[in-house]
Structure 1
Amino acid sequence: MKKVLILGANGQIAKIVSHDLLSEDIDQRLFLRRSSRLTTKNPKKQEIIEGDALNQADLEVAMKGVDIVYANLAGEIIEEAKLVVSAMKKTGVKRLIWISTLGIYDEVPGNYGKWNHQQLDGGYLETYAEAAKIIEASELDYTIIRPAWLDNKDEIDYELTQRNEAFKGTEVSRKSIAHLVSQIILNPDQHIGESLGVNKPNTDGDKPAWVK
C-alpha cells in the first residue's frame, strides 16, 4: 500500500484530499504544527504527526517510509522549499506534489495578468516563484500545481495548461485542485516534471467573477 505524507494537513485543500483518499488503497501521514487541530477519520489509514516544515529534522522523521510527499504549505515558502527538497533527498523519497500559485512565470495574459500582479506582487508572487525554481532544480520527480483564484464551489471542473503556455481562466474550486492532487497520488507516474496551471473552463475575464 502506498503512503503519502501531507505537509500542511490542516489546509482547506489538504483536508479535501485527505477525505477523498480514505476510499482508496492509500495510507496517509498528516503533518502539521499543532496536531490537536486534526482528528483521524480512519486510524487504520491515517496517522497524525506534529512538526514544523521549517525544521528539517521534523521533515525527515515524517518522510520515513513514505512514497509521495504532497506539500500544501504557506508562510516562509522559499525556506520550506529548500528544507523539503533537502529532507526528501536525505530520506530517499523522490515523488513530490507542490502547490504554488498562478503568475510565477508571468504566464497570466492580458488584464487578468495585470490584476493578478497588483494583488500578489510585493512579496507573495516573488517568493512562490523562487520556491518553484528550487523545486524545478531539485532533480526530484515533482509536479508543481498553479491554481487560479480559489473558491469553495462544490464542483470538480478544471482544465490544465503547461509551464510554457498562457494561463487560462480566472478561477477554480478547491475541490477541483484536491481532485487533481488525489489523481496524481493515485497515479504517481503522471505529470512528472510538469508545472500545471489549473482553471475552470470558460472563466476568462479581467478578474474572477466573484471579485467586485
Structure 2
Amino acid sequence: MENVLVAGAHGTTGKHIINILNNSKDYKPIAMIRKADQKDFFNIKNVETVLADLEDNLSQAVEGVDKVIFAAGSGGEKVVEVDQEGAKRLVDASKKAEIKKFVMLSSIGAGRPEKADQLKEYLKAKHKADEYLKDSGLDYTIVRPGTLNNEQGTGKVKVKKELESVGEIPREDVARILVAALQNTTAHNTAFEVVSGEVVIEEALKELKK
C-alpha cells in the first residue's frame, strides 16, 4: 500500500480525493492541512493528517510519502504565492524525497495562457507550475479540467491534449482521474485537458497513449 499526500485535502475536490483513496486497497491517504482545526474532519475518517503550509517549508510533509496529488488552490487570492510558487515548493520537496509520482491538478487553458480572455493571471501561474513540474525530472501527470461543478460524477469524460472548447466536469470525476493517474503507467509524463463526456475514465486515459 502506497502513502499518498494530498495537498488541498480540505477543499471540495480534495475531500473527494481523500474518500476515494480511503476506500482503495492500493493507497493510504495523508491529508495535508494548513490549519489545526481541519484535523477533526479527517480524524473521524481515520485519515492521517500533516500540518503544512505551501508558503513555507514542506520537507516534513513528504516524509514517508510515496506519491503526491497537488489539488490545492488559493481561490484566486494568492495565485502566485500558492498556485504557482506553492506548487513549485512541493515539487522541490517531492524531488528531494524521491517521490514516485506527482499528479498535478491544473486547469483547462493552462497550456496556452496567452490565449485566455479571462483568468489570465491564474492560468499563467498554473502554466508556470506545470512547466516546473515537467522540468523537475519527477514522473508526473498534469490534469487540466474544464469548469468544475458539484454535480454527482458520471465516471465518463472526454480527454484530449488540447480540447477545442471549455466544458464542465464534476469535481468527483476530477478526483477519480487524479487518483487513476497515480498508477505509474497511466498518463505517464503527460498533460491533458478533460471535461464530461461519453468515455469511461480508465478507457479515456488509455486513449492518451495512442
The question of a shared fold, defined as TM-score above 0.5 by the shorter chain, is answered with yes
Deviations 1:102-129 (A, max 9, x none): 112238xxxxx97xx23212x2111111
Among the aligned pairs, what percent are the same residue? 26
Give unmatched runs, 5+ long, in structure 2: 75-80, 199-210
Name the structure 2 match of 1:100: 106
SS in 1 for 2:85: helix
| C-alpha RMSD of the superposition | 2.0
Please identify the structure whose Cα radius of gyration is greater: 1
In the TM superposition, residue 167 of structure 1 has moved relative to its aligned partner by: 4.1
Name the structure 2 match of 1:55: 56
Partners of 2:28 and 2:21 in 1: how far apart? Answer: 8
Name the structure 2 match of 1:142: 140
Deviations 1:79-107 (A, max 9, x none): 11221121112111131001111112238
Name the structure 1 match of 2:34: 33
Q: Does 1:173 align with 2:174?
A: no
Partners of 2:32 and 2:73 in 1: how far apart? Answer: 14
The correspondence of residues 98-137 of structure 1 with structure 2, limited to 5 A, is 98-106=104-112, 117-121=116-120, 123-137=121-135
Q: Partner letter of residue 190 of structure 2?
A: E
Name the structure 1 match of 2:14: 14
Name the structure 1 match of 2:190: 194
Q: Partner letter of residue 158 of structure 2?
A: E
CA contact (8 A) 2:101 2:138 kept: yes
Q: Partner letter of residue 21 of structure 2?
A: L
SS in 2 for 1:61: coil
CA contact (8 A) 1:161 1:168 kept: no
Q: Partner letter of residue 151 of structure 1?
A: N
- Normalising by structure 2, report the TM-score: 0.81
- Normalising by structure 1, report the TM-score: 0.81
Q: Does 1:84 align with 2:74?
A: no
